[in-house]
């Protein structure tokens, strides 16, 4: 595919252990996720609440590969809202990823739905609104 992939592998992975990294991949132990999301067209994530909220906040459609705990529920909700595609962790293949990315890039409804959710998240007021609401409860 004619795409650029930014792949963060975490601090415990030796990147030199990867063989034959394609030229359109940037593999790093760390990337600024929020800075990448400001420019991303698709976000592949495990579906944790933080990553999911961050991706949707920036209106980025998601490919979710839930691992455990609440992630399957979060992923199912994102898919139901039309903002992403779920791939079960035991069914992840290069072909499944390529097909899902292709679908998101060609079906504009994923972008539209992600942007709609992002707009609602941004308009909710963020942590400042949350603090104000907590203070209101305390002062009752």
Among residues 28, 19, 23, 31, which one has the least CA distance to residue 2? 23
The predicted model gives 39-55 an average pLDDT of 97
The predicted model gives 28-36 an average pLDDT of 96
pLDDT tens, residue by residue, 87-135: 999 999 999 999 999 999 999 999 999 999 999 999 998 889 989 999 9
Does the pLDDT value for residue 140 go beyond 90? no
| Whole-number pLDDT of residue 126 | 84
* In the block, residue with structure tokens 């539209």: 112
Residue ranges of E strands in 38-105: 43-45, 62-64, 84-86
């Amino acid at each position: 595919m004619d795409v650029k992939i930014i792949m963060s592998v975490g601090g415990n992975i030796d990147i030199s252990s990867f063989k034959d990294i394609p030229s359109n991949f940037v593999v790093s132990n760390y990337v600024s996720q929020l800075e990448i999301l400001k420019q991303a067209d698709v976000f592949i994530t495990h579906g944790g609440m933080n990553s999911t909220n961050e991706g949707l906040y920036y209106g980025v459609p998601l490919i979710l590969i839930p691992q455990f705990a609440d992630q399957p529920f979060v992923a199912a909700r994102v898919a139901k809202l039309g903002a992403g595609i779920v791939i079960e962790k035991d069914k992840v293949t290069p072909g499944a990823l390529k097909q899902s990315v292709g679908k998101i890039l060609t079906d504009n409804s994923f972008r539209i739905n992600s942007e709609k959710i992002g707009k609602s998240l941004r308009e909710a007021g963020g942590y400042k609104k949350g603090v104000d609401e907590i203070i209101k409860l305390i002062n009752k």
